[in-house]
């Protein structure tokens, strides 16, 4: 396009360097900003990202490179945990280094993210089903969590609830209240 000389120069340079040059660095865990700087002064991080996402095939290769980078970070975390010295400060430092690598791996590829996995399942290309939503819908249809608890108690999965009544909760009518209730409403 004639109105975008910077983008044209960056695109031409990236095309000349090649997809392999860029994606190999990403797979090695090098940040996009550093990869852009290694490509030359006219390539910014934003231009590199734009170039990557310009083609569907290149986008897929980029995802694969990110997955490889996440796997590399997971391996590094394991190596750090296996080689840490048994000293309090060294263990604390190793814990931070491992945590950082776990976080970065999770950012690069959700498969490596710590914590609960997604409950969404892809059935077909653009059809997703959320297992948690299905479970909640079933509970709503059957009477909610109370019905589920009752059903579990009937099957002896949950113990029966204990009902405790304290003396302060029980209402006791005094004799004076009974007498005032017995008198006709018109008398004072």
Distance CA(76)–CA(91), nearest Å, equals 15
Task: List 124's β-bridge partners, or say none.
Answer: 127
Distance CA 31, CA 13 (A): 19
What DSSP designation does 111 have?
G
**Does residue 43 carry a pLDDT above 60?**
yes
Domain definitions of the chain by residue range = 1-54, 67-117, 118-161
Q: What's residue 188's pLDDT?
A: 45
DSSP helix/strand/coil, 188: coil
Quote the mean pLDDT of the chain.
78
Which residues, including other chains, have CB under 8 Å from residue 52's CB and lie 6 or more apart?
A: 22, 58, 59, 62
Helix, strand or coil, per DSSP, at residue 56: helix
**95-125: per-residue pLDDT in tens?**
999 999 988 888 888 877 766 655 666 666 6
pTM over 0.85: no
pLDDT for position 4: 85
Percent of all residues in the chain with a pLDDT value above 70, rounded to a whole number: 59
Question: Which residue has better confidence, 68 or 131?
Answer: 68
- Angstrom distances, CA of residue 101 to CA of 18, 62, 117, 164: 28, 20, 18, 51
Q: 158 falls in which pLDDT band (50, 70, 90)?
A: very low
The pLDDT of 137-166, averaged and rounded, is 60
185 pLDDT higher than 80: no
What would the mean pLDDT of 48-74 be, rounded to a whole number?
Answer: 93
The reported pLDDT for the residue numbered 136 is: 66
CB-based contacts of 33, cutoff 8 Å, min separation 6: 45
The mean-pLDDT minimum among 13-22, 42-51, 149-158 falls in 149-158
């Amino acid at each position: 396009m004639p109105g975008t000389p910077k983008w044209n120069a960056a695109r031409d340079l990236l095309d000349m360097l090649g997809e392999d040059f860029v994606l190999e660095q990403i797979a090695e865990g090098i940040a996009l900003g550093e990869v852009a700087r290694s490509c030359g002064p006219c390539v910014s991080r934003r231009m590199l990202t734009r170039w990557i996402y310009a083609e569907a095939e290149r986008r897929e290769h980029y995802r694969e490179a990110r997955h490889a980078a996440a796997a590399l970070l997971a391996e590094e975390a394991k190596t750090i945990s296996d080689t840490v010295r048994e000293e309090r400060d060294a263990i604390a430092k190793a814990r931070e280094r491992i945590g950082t690598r776990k976080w970065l791996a999770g950012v690069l590829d959700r498969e490596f993210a710590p914590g609960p996995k997604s409950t969404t399942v892809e059935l077909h290309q653009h059809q997703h089903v959320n297992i948690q939503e299905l479970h909640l819908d079933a509970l709503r249809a059957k009477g909610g969590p109370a019905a589920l608890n009752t059903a579990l108690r009937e099957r002896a999965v949950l113990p029966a609830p204990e009902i405790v009544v304290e003396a302060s909760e029980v209402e006791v009518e005094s004799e004076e209240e009974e007498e005032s209730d017995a008198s006709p409403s018109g008398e004072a």
